[in-house]
Amino acid sequence: MSSTSAEAFPGTGDHIARPRPRKPLHSQVSHLSHISNASDVNGSGSLELPENAISNGHATGATGTGTGTGTGTGTGTGTGVTSGRSTPVPVDAPPSVKVLSSARKQARAEQRRRIFPTIEFASRVSHFDPNSDYRDFHGFFNLFWIGLAIMAITTMLRNIKDTGYPLRVQIWGLFTVKLWHLAIADFLMVASTAVSLPMHKLFRAAPGGGLLTWSRGGMAIMSIYQVGWLALWIAVPFLLDWTWTAQVFLLLHTMVLLMKMHSYSFYNGHLSETEKRLRALDDPSTASRAPAYLYPTAENPGGTMASPKRPEARDKGEGSGPEDDEVAQLREDLARELTSPMGNITYPANLTWANYIDYLCCPTLCYELEYPRTAAIDWQNLISKIIATFGCIFLLTVISEEFILPALVDASQRLDPSLRTGDAPLTVLEVLLILAETISWLLFPFMLTFLLVFLVIFEYVLGAFAEITHFADRHFYSDWWNSTDWMEFSREWNVPVYNFLRRHVYSASRPHVGKANATVITFLISAVGHEIVMACITKKLRGYGFICQMLQLPIVMLQRTRLVRGKKTLNNVCFWCSMILGLSVVS
């Protein structure tokens, strides 16, 4: 039977049952047990004793000094071996004592080592699961670049084996043909856009109601100038017989500058008319009371007419009548429209050459009075983007030289009737087989080309210009790779162009033709732009780019039907298949 404290300590009589003291162990075993116990109890190498703590360096019992072995005696030093349990808390102990004892026991239980550690299981999904919130796949981005590096190294080694040179030079030589012509023409093209600033100052200085105000004659003058400007710089590469590489570069830069010039002219033209209305309200008796037009912004993408009769218009006038309140609110709406969202610049303080040149360099197609800026240039980031730009151009050239051009040349030779004998003409089946084989060869190279073009433009070139100009808004694209229809892709693939089309085409035409027709007009203008680019590359006007762009509208309508809508994986797979297959078929 187990002994009690009354038996061990006669006279105390606390009637509390305690475990029998253990026998003394060997000194070495006792020392190891002491170290193990101390580590398991508090995790820091020091032993945590029971609630009845040490007193004057001697171990104490429950009610006084004791003679029991294992916990020490009243006069001797302890052996360091304990029972492994805390002294029970009396039943009548205060709640604070009980809860502290319970907390200590729980802590020791949690930290006690196990021979077979437990594994924590919970309801979780994998990183690639559609319901997962995990979004960090930067390692795959690094793997993408490693794969491209392996491809480039393998290609160069094969070329050294076959030709003795690491690279072919058929496309590389195109970059240096008439390079000075390209540089001079590009400079003149940029300089010719600067006419927008003096012309706008002329429109602003014109008296209200005159022929040279923006609303009466300025808009028509600038529209005609921009159409003629675009036609001139599209024709220049054809007239000078440039290579397709130089022609595509100048054309893309022409499109960018056209949209920049249009946004600068039309937004400042709107501000000039707004300023005239604000000045006219100095004499409310003769001024127009029409609501102020708020130009489309990120927060107001559709552009709205501010209502001067809303509740905020009350008690803003100098007088007490409702007409005074209406005029005061109209003045406030017009003044806010003339002020930048950040409140640092007010029209016409932005009409300077420094502001115009800064706008040309900023990676945006929509003009604003002021943009958010970063505090300083991150030189490491800038240098890395410049290096990555030239790296992407190198890889694009390698892919075109090694995989795309040979496939196209081989297909053209096999389809050329003049190279075949009269007794072995091409059959329809042979033509279809040649086309199918060529398309299959081009699928993967064009997919890589598409991804590299996206990276070099939207991540590296625009990112570098944003770093140089301290441009803080670097939302140049969204997760377009998760697109489930072409409408979503058009919003997320090229955010600067999407913002321009929504602000200056869709929002400008919607009040006049309605939402559906405004959407068609927006896609129509986008399709014309794509066809112009395709025509400059192939130097033939075939309509492939226009047809493919306009086919997106019925495809979007089909994808939004009840049978297809909501099936994200299926729609995303269809999107990628049509994207990759379309590039190969058009080529």
Residues 262-286, mean pLDDT to the nearest whole number: 87
Q: Which two tokens stand for residue 163?
A: 């030709």
Pick from 197-211, 342-356, 540-554: least confident = 540-554
| Of 54, 115, 40, residue with least CA distance to 84 | 40
Rounded CA separation 375/388 (Å): 24
Residue 34's pLDDT band (boundaries 50, 70, 90)?
very low
pLDDT at 365: 94
CB-count exposure of residue 86 (10 Å: 0-12, 13-18, 19+) = middle
Least confident of 74-83, 270-279, 302-311: 74-83
Q: Residue 243 — pLDDT band, cuts 50, 70, 90?
A: confident
User: What pLDDT does 70 receive?
Assistant: 39
Region 105-126: mean pLDDT is: 74
Does residue 541 lie in a domain region?
yes
- State whether 408 and 459 are in the same domain: yes
Report DSSP state, residue 362.
S
Residue 129 pLDDT: 81
Catalytically annotated residue among 31, 58, 470, 530: 530
Domain annotation covers residue 145: no
> Is the residue at 103 inside a domain?
no
Cα gap 502→494, rounded to integer Å: 12
Give CA angle at 556 (555, 557), nearest 5°.
Answer: 90
Residues 556 and 436 in one domain: yes
User: Could you tell me if 451 and 560 lie in one domain?
Assistant: yes
pLDDT range class, residue 306, cuts 50, 70, 90: low
Q: What per-residue confidence (pLDDT) applies to 242?
A: 86
Instruction: Determine contact, residues 291/305, Cβ cutoff 8 Å.
Output: yes
State the chain's maximal CA–CA distance in angstroms.
Answer: 128
Number of domains in the chain: 3
Cis preceding linkage at 301, omega within 30: no
| Chosen domain end from 321, 337, 361 | 361
Tell me what pLDDT residue 12 has: 44
Q: What share of the chain is helix, strand, coil (3-state, %, to 5)?
A: 60, 0, 40
C-alpha dist (Å) from residue 292 to 209, 264, 328: 18, 20, 12
**Which of 361, 389, 417 finishes a domain?**
361
Phi, psi of 518 (to 5 degrees): -65, -35
Write out the DSSP string of 441-457: HHHHHHHHHHHHHHIII
Q: How many Cα atoms within 13 Å fall on the side-chain side of residue 508?
A: 14
Task: Count the residues in the chain.
Answer: 587
pLDDT at residue 263 tops 60 = yes
Instruction: Note whether 334 and 383 are same-domain residues.
Output: no
Check pLDDT > 50 for residue 76.
no
Q: Does any domain span residue 122? A: no
- Any domain includes 149: no
Tokens 């919003």 belong to residue: 491
Which residues, including other chains, have CB under 8 Å from residue 524's CB and lie 6 or more apart? 550
pLDDT band at 114 (very low <50, low <70, confident <90, very high): low
* Residue 270 falls in the annotated catalytic set: no
Domain-ending residue, one of 315, 331, 361: 361
Both 442 and 577 in one domain: the answer is yes
Same domain flag for 444 and 335: no
Question: What is the mean pLDDT of the segment spanning 283-287?
Answer: 70
> Does residue 313 sit in the same domain as residue 402?
no
Residue 321's pLDDT is 55
Tokens 């980031």 sit at which residue?
381
Residue at 401 is within a domain: yes
* Per-residue model confidence as pLDDT tens digits over 490-502: 888 899 999 999 9
Same domain, 398 and 349: no
Domain with 23, as residue range(s), is: 1-41
Residue 71 confidence (pLDDT) above 50: no
Residues 440 and 536 in one domain: yes
User: Which range in 19-23, 93-97, 197-201 is most confidently predicted, on average pLDDT?
Assistant: 197-201
Rounded mean pLDDT, 318-330: 68
pLDDT at 223 (0 to 100): 94
Residue with tokens 């005696």, as numbered in its chain: 73
The two three-digit tokens of residue 326, written as one number: 């209406």
What average pLDDT does range 509-515 have in this prediction?
85
> Is 167 inside any structural domain?
no
Mean pLDDT over each residue of the chain, to the nearest integer: 78
- In a shared domain, residues 268 and 402: no
Distance CA 493, CA 48 (A): 63
Distance of alpha carbon 522 from alpha carbon 190, whole angstroms: 26
What's the angle, vertex CA 512, arms to CA 509 and CA 516, rounded to 5? 65
pLDDT band, residue 127 (cuts 50/70/90): confident
Same domain, 418 and 550: yes
What is the reported pTM? Answer: 0.73
| Domain shared by 383 and 341, yes or no | no
